[in-house]
Amino acid sequence: MRYFDFLAPVYDWFMPSADPDMWIDLLRLPADGSLIDIGGGTGRVGAELRPLVRSVVISDISTGMLKGALRKGALQAVAADAARMPFQDGAFSRAIMADALHHFSDQEGAVREMFRLLAPGGRLVIEEFDRRRLPVKALALGEKALFMGSRFLTPSQICRMVEACGASASVRKGPYFSVWIVADKPN
Ligand SMILES: C[S@@+](CC[C@H](N)C(=O)[O-])C[C@H]1O[C@@H](n2cnc3c(N)ncnc32)[C@H](O)[C@@H]1O
């Protein structure tokens, strides 16, 4: 958490912008209802999708990162641990996690919460680096050297977490050695 509070003022300068077209396709947007971006940081991804849903909530454990999200305007920001979210069941029609799951200390809990927050018929998308790829192995070593506590997973491990919640998950190839895990909550 402190690490991202420290990085927050410069985060958007060094991160590549999100590709809204890919997210629009993956999330089947526009959609009725609201979208939650869990571990959403400065709203790098969520802000791009704001015109396509009723509202966008950026949740994150770092208040520094959330200040960046609020500066973008038209986003709601909520400070919360991804594994203990302060929303009722089914509050969102879309839920995303981008480049965040490997930072969470309770990964299974975070995926369970993501699924709980999703309305029946809603869709979740998790973007994560693929632990099997060589550059990701190097990134994992770098983050380990910085004591970031990251834990990178394989796409199958993430799918199993999602499927344990009761949905079937599919994997698509993403940018920069990442994958997208996509799942719909059954009606
Ligand atoms: C690499 S950033 C990604 C931010 C954003 N999703 C993006 O793609 O630009 C990872 C984010 O996860 C957040 N994070 C780490 N642990 C968390 C937790 N337990 N609950 C919620 N957010 C957490 C960090 O504060 C940080 O903002």
Total count of domains within the chain: 1
pLDDT tens, 49-88? Answer: 999 999 999 999 999 999 999 999 999 999 999 999 999 9
Q: What is the pLDDT of residues 172-185, one digit of tens each?
A: 998 889 999 999 99
pLDDT at residue 1 is higher than 70: no
- The reply to whether ligand 1 has any atom less than 6 angstroms from the CB of 81 is yes
Which among 94, 22, 28, 36 is positioned nearest to 69, based on CA atoms?
Answer: 36
Choose the residue to mutate in 22, 60, 96, 151 for probing ligand 1, maximizing ligand atoms within 8 Å of C-beta: 60
Which residues make beta-bridge pairs with 57? 36, 76
CB 183 within 8 A of CB 169: yes
Q: Return the closest-CA partner of residue 79 out of 67, 90, 93.
A: 67
Residue with more model confidence, 39 or 1: 39
Both structure tokens of 99: 């480049």
Task: Find the CATH number of the domain harbouring 33.
Answer: 3.40.50.150
Q: What pTM, to 2 d.p., does this model score? A: 0.96
Q: Is 41 in the pocket of ligand 1 (CB under 6 A)?
A: yes
104 lines ligand 1 (CB under 6 A): yes
Domain span holding position 157: 2-184
Q: Is 8 in the pocket of ligand 1 (CB under 6 A)?
A: no
Facing residues of 182 across strands? 125, 170
pLDDT reported for residue 65: 98
Which residues fall within 8 angstroms of residue 23, CB to CB, at 6 or more apart?
Answer: 29, 45, 48, 49, 96, 125
Please tell me the residue having the least CA distance from ligand 1 atom 13.
39
Say if ligand 1 is within 6 A of residue 39 CB.
Answer: yes
Q: Which of 151, 174, 63, 57 is nearest to 104 (CA)?
A: 151
